[in-house]
Amino acid sequence: MYQAAITGTGVFTPQQTITNAELVEAFNAYADLYNAENAEAIGAGTLEAKAHSSEEFIVKASGIEQRYVMDKSGVLDPNVMHPLLRQRADEEPSLMAEMAVDAAQKALAAAGKTADDVDAVICAASNLERAYPAVAIEIQELLGVKGFAFDMNVACSSATFGIQAAADMIRSGSIRSALVVNPEICSAHLEWRDRDCHFIFGDVATATLLERAEDVEGPCFDVISTRCATEYSNNIRNNNGFLRRSRPDGLSDRRDMQFMQNGRKVFKEVLPMVADHIGGHMADNGLESDDLKRIWLHQANKSMNDFIGRKVLGREPELGEQPNILQDYANTSSAGSIIAFAKNSDDLQDGDTGLICSFGAGYSVGSVIVKKRG
């Protein structure tokens, strides 16, 4: 058995941002249009009027202050309310692959490696741009990586599940290295017309390079242990798919064709699952709360992260122990914990231990215990 290590990370950040103020202005304009168009039904009590959103509501509900997106023009148009992304020819790189390649190249540069040093590419994301050919194979081709590639989807836990898959292949000796890439175009499956969730998501891509520890010369994070768990729930869901056109009313503008969640149930059911998962993972590796220098959590909601931080550490996390990035990036599904890790890990010292954890739809939760070396 070989030891796996994380040797480089990369983050692709879109150029465009949407502030809470911009988002609220667009949503409220949409709500006013909707209410005016449906005034008769609303007056008769057969249809509910859409309430306005507010910056205060968004920050209190999530801790999010802005988000990066691939296109803001369509999202902020009250008559559109979704990103407008141009159709690309089959001969062009897909948008998702283009984002992933940028992040992957940054991860390789951080590790001082090239595509020739990579044996496998895993594209792990909450939604793939197409069913086939695999986006991972396109990324592999664009990077010039030999070996093999495949897609996987465990929603918001995709990155940690991908890291476990890569680490397991390295441990077994079937590969020496792998890139786990997480291109997330969450703006395309968010329902921007729903006040309860219109502020949640942003776009980004992350990449993590894993190698055999024996091949590493510079600083790295040894992967001490990985653990994944799933428990079925449809409280977070998106019912879109290739069977849609085969079903009655399948092509209509149905609400369940975009992101949906029962937020209260998710909060109540996921948090204990995550806290117990992390606690069990730590205990099985002989770790106490004081042994953790840092926790890099899935970036869905500040209140959720604060709760998990308190449960895991047994106290209020100190500044920097449980870094949040969602105030700037919003929820970026599988990429969130990797952004937090990439941007808040350089200062750790040799021997420091930390834990990466992502969780979400499925329900699913994945955790990775790492130790700084060098």
d(CA 25, CA 203): 20
Q: How far apart are CA 126 and CA 16, in angstroms?
A: 21
Give the helix ranges, DSSP H, for the chain: 20-37, 39-44, 55-62, 95-111, 135-143, 158-172, 263-284, 302-313, 326-329, 336-343
Edge-first strand order for the sheet with 4-12 is 148-152, 120-124, 177-185, 203-212, 4-12, 220-233, 362-373, 353-360, 292-297
- In angstroms, the CA 199 to CA 236 distance is 16
Q: What six digits make up the tokens of 293?
A: 């220098």
Number of alpha carbons in the 13 Å side-chain half-sphere of residue 127:
21
For residues 355 and 292, the answer to whether their CB atoms sit within 8 Å is yes
Catalytic center residues: 156
Q: How far is CA 245 from each of CA 129, 188, 252, 255, rounded to the nearest angstrom?
A: 18, 19, 9, 15
Task: Give the 3-state secondary structure of residue 160.
Answer: helix
Q: Are 180 and 148 in contact (CB under 8 A)?
A: no
Nearest to 303 by CA among 39, 60, 11, 103: 60
Beta strands 260-261 and 4-12 are unpaired
Q: Give the helix, strand, coil percentages of the chain, each rounded to 5.
A: 40, 25, 35
Q: Using N-to-C axis directions, what is the helix angle for 302-313 and 263-284, rounded to 10°?
A: 30
